[in-house]
Amino acid sequence: MFPHIRMRRNRRTDWSRRLVSENQLSVNDLIWPVFIQDGTNRKTDIPSMPGVQRLTVDHLLEAAKAAADLGIPALAIFPATDPAKKTEGGEEAFNPENLVCRAVRALKEQNLNLGILCDVALDPYTSHGQDGLVRDGYVVNDESVEVLCKQSVVQAEAGCDIIAPSDMMDGRIGAIREALDEAGYQHV
């Protein structure tokens, strides 16, 4: 205890701080979040995130090249779904031709050696904006997990490397893992 233990003595100089540092952050630790939208040649400002834009897939490919050139190892994809494609059941989430799947395939065709993370949640696809299916005013867990599993498999089929669930359904991680394994995506 103090005065025998004086941690500040290890923080006095730059070289000593580097020597005893437990954590170091490098470009290898970064994941670039990208927000995508349908269309071509469009960048749309996101008012709640100054300096961040939603990109169409053509601009996403440019951003991915920039990320690869910087040495950033992975991108995380978050879609802005056309409101006309949003439904009570969030069916667009597991459409193999949805925006996320098209973006993932386009990225993989570039061979940039980037990992691709895909968000798994239903809120971008449901007309009510919930992360799950709603029955009688209540978000139903088990049916929602089934849809999240379908979404995960579709994303893996498109070439997604990491499935990243952001919803809050109970049991979804194990169920998604099982669905991916059963579909032959043990590496995802």
Which pLDDT belongs to residue 2?
63
Residue 121 lies in a domain: yes
Residue 1 lies in a domain: no
Domain tally, the chain: 1
**Amino acid (1-letter code) at residue 77:** I
For strand 162-165 and strand 138-140, is the pairing parallel, antiparallel, or unpaired? Answer: unpaired
User: Is the pLDDT assigned to residue 3 strictly greater than 80?
Assistant: no
Residue 151 belongs to domain with CATH number:
3.20.20.70
pLDDT digits (tens, 9 = 90+) for 121-162: 999 999 999 999 999 999 999 999 999 999 999 999 999 999
Please tell me the distance from the alpha carbon of residue 53 to that of residue 51, in angstroms, as a whole number: 7
Residue 188 lies in a domain: no
Residue 16 lies in a domain: no
**Residue whose token pair is 């980037």:** 114
17 — pLDDT class (breaks 50, 70, 90): confident
What's the 3-state SS for 113-163? CCEEEEEECCCCCECCCCCCEEECCEEEHHHHHHHHHHHHHHHHHHCCCEE
34's CB contacts (< 8 A; 6+ apart) are: 55, 60, 63, 64, 75, 76, 77, 78
Q: Which domain holds residue 79?
A: 26-182
Residue 12 lies in a domain: no
Please tell me the distance from the alpha carbon of residue 16 to that of residue 39, in angstroms, as a whole number: 52
pLDDT digits (tens, 9 = 90+) for 19-74: 888 888 899 999 999 999 999 999 999 999 999 999 999 999 999 999 999 999 99
pLDDT digits (tens, 9 = 90+) for 81-130: 999 999 999 999 999 999 999 999 999 999 999 999 999 999 999 999 99
User: Is the pLDDT assigned to residue 168 strictly greater than 90?
Assistant: yes
1 — pLDDT class (breaks 50, 70, 90): low
Residue 54 lies in a domain: yes
User: Is the pLDDT assigned to residue 16 strictly greater than 90?
Assistant: no
Number of Cβ within 10 Å of residue 8's Cβ equals 6
Residue 168 lies in a domain: yes
